[in-house]
Amino acid sequence: MSNKPFILSNKSEDKKEFEAMINKTMASFFRTIDDESAFSGINPYVLRKEINDLGFLPEKGIGFDETMKKVEEIILPNLLRTWSTSYMPHLHSPALLETIASELLIAAFNDSMDSWDQGPAATEVEEAMIHGLLNLYGYKEGADGCFTSGGSQSNISAIIAARDWYLGEKFGLDVKKRGIDGTPLTLYTSEISHFSMDKGCHILGLGYDAVRKIPVDDRCKVDINAFKAMVEGDVDNGFYPFAAVATIGTTDFGSIDDIKAMREICDKYGMHLHADAAYGSGAIMSSKYRERIGDLSLADSITIDFHKMFLLPISCSALLMKNGKKLECFELHADYLNREEDEEDGYINLVGKSMQTTRRFDALKVFMAFQTRGKDGFDEMITKVIDNADHFWSLIKDDPDFIVPVKPELSSVVFALTDGDEVNKRVRRRLLENGTVIGQTVMNGKVMLKFTLLNPNLDFSDFPALIETIKKYRDIERERA
Ligand SMILES: *Cc1c(COP(=O)(O)O)cnc(C)c1O
């Protein structure tokens, strides 16, 4: 073995080598971040060629230093810098400092969450954090949860659990063993909900058509009367409504569905109500705005994303289930992994609650962030980003150059220049080429721009210059047209 040392161990030579690598990595990183822009602005064709020229698998390893040189020259400068206050297109956050440190520990130990013997403290920390989260969101005794790879997986897991439970309760069908039986199931969610519901229903063999898209009102929230009418109509036509999803913070607008009203309809028809709070879950930390997300404990399950408002590194999400037994749909015993006799002696194996087998110790990031910042730290950061959205909205709502159709409830503002689709698109592209990355979406067939504000370093004082830049680029595009 010519490249020794190669694995981190207790040997002092390995520790030294690792420390040197980390120091070199940090040095490259710090040399790279030398301005405030979010992106180098490089053309995609140029970047593609440069990346391909780096090569795939050399005959002979070039060693860490040479590798780091390539990384520093070509890759790092053209990565997206999530910490930049000029980055605001997506629900894609910068990472809190201590959670980047926790990622180092997660990778260095490389413990896994599937069985207790692969991550003893990891298993116990995850369970303790899940317990804390159940309390935080108002769930009582009997609830359970699990960390997942992201909001999509949390949502799909919730739909699986809801489907299996519904068919079991209603028809005594053991879906795990016998599969689905062709019962025409339907799921209800708003027309602007996240596409993971469609993906989920496809994966479950129900198909996109099983996802009933409820129209939204002028504040982009589920139209409750329409929801009711759709469920009634489907029941009359022989369908079986098994679940509904309330979006607690839609991906574009941050609009929040009325969970209480949706609960009433779900109760009437024996449906599982899932709260997709991938975005809005963070608002629970804001004493000023917490009320806006409603009482999430009314939902039967909740998706939380920590890699959005909570500012943790990708990926980190959790699914909470009010009736923990519904998570048993993922339980399966393997002789080599999760023996029942071990579980009786307290060696719990979290693989039984998850779609995944090998799974990262993401709960450590939540633990370290919660301990480091505390309630007050998160309150301040999350209140600030919602305040920012409110402030930006107040600056442009009466400006004749802009339209802003929906008053923000979370940290996103969807707006447009009054000049039409082409100018809006070109202004966004021009901003990108100059290192400011903003969002673009469509509302009622019109191109809209979007600020998704997750970075608490952005201040009220930053907005006037941003608005000026947008108008300046608009003027250039007007002249070109
Ligand atoms: C981001 C988002 C998701 C998907 O979460 P991932 O972590 O990206 O998989 C689901 N629902 C909503 C409302 C979201 O904003």
- Which tens digit of pLDDT belongs to each residue from 394-423? 999 999 999 999 999 999 999 999 999 999
pLDDT at 267 over 80: yes
Any atom of ligand 1 within 6 Å of the Cβ of 189: no
Q: How confident is the model at residue 2 (pLDDT cuts 50, 70, 90)?
A: low
Cα radius of gyration (the chain):
24
Q: Which has the closest alpha carbon to 386: 374, 396, 394, 375?
A: 394
Measured in angstroms, how far is the CA atom of residue 278 from the centroid of ligand 1? Answer: 5
Any atom of ligand 1 within 6 Å of the Cβ of 317: yes
Instruction: Render pLDDT for 91-143 as a digit per residue (tens, 0 to 9).
Output: 999 999 999 999 999 999 999 999 999 999 999 999 999 999 999 999 999 99
Integer Cα distance of 381 and 341 in angstroms? 45
Environment class of residue 196 by beta-carbon count within 10 Å: exposed (0-12), middle (13-18) or buried (19+)? buried
Pairwise pLDDT comparison (372 vs 478), residue with the higher score: 372
Give the position, in ligand 1's atom list, of the atom nearest the Cα of 196: 10
Ligand 1 pocket mutation, candidates 152, 153, 296, criterion most atoms within 8 A of CB: 152
Q: Dmax over Cα atoms in the chain, in whole Å?
A: 75
Query: Cα 463–468–473 angle (5° rounding)?
Result: 130
Q: How confident is the model at residue 6 (pLDDT cuts 50, 70, 90)?
A: confident
Residue 343 has a pLDDT of 78
295: CB partners within 8 A, 6+ apart:
138, 259, 260
Q: Which has the closest alpha carbon to 318: 360, 273, 375, 257?
A: 360
- Lowest mean pLDDT across 154-163, 333-342, 411-420: 333-342
Any atom of ligand 1 within 6 Å of the Cβ of 452: no
Residue 334 has a pLDDT of 77
Integer Cα distance of 433 and 158 in angstroms? 40
CA-to-CA dists, residue 129 to 124, 381, 433, angstroms: 9, 21, 42
Using a pLDDT cut of 90, give the percent of the chain over it. Answer: 92
Integer Cα distance of 314 and 269 in angstroms? 37
Q: Which has the closest alpha carbon to 210: 230, 228, 236, 224?
A: 230
Give the position, in ligand 1's atom list, of the atom nearest the Cα of 277: 13
pLDDT at 56 over 70: yes
**Number of H-type helices and E-type strands within the chain:** 14, 12
Residue 3 has a pLDDT of 59
Residue 357 has a pLDDT of 95
Give the pLDDT mean for 474-478. Answer: 94
> Which residues are registered as beta bridge partners of 246?
275
Does residue 5 have a cis peptide bond before it, meaning omega lies within 30 degrees of 0? yes
Give the pLDDT mean for 221-229. Answer: 98
Integer Cα distance of 14 and 33 in angstroms? 29
pLDDT at 455 over 70: yes
Give the pLDDT mean for 285-292. Answer: 98
**Torsion angles phi and psi, residue 320, rounded to 5:** -110, 140
Integer Cα distance of 19 and 452 in angstroms? 37
Give the position, in ligand 1's atom list, of the atom nearest the Cα of 248: 13
Q: How confident is the model at residue 34 (pLDDT cuts 50, 70, 90)?
A: confident
Which residue has a Cα nearest atom 5 of ligand 1?
A: 151
Give the pLDDT mean for 279-308. Answer: 98
Give the pLDDT mean for 230-250. Answer: 98
Instruction: Render pLDDT for 189-206 as a digit per residue (tens, 0 to 9).
Output: 999 999 999 999 999 999
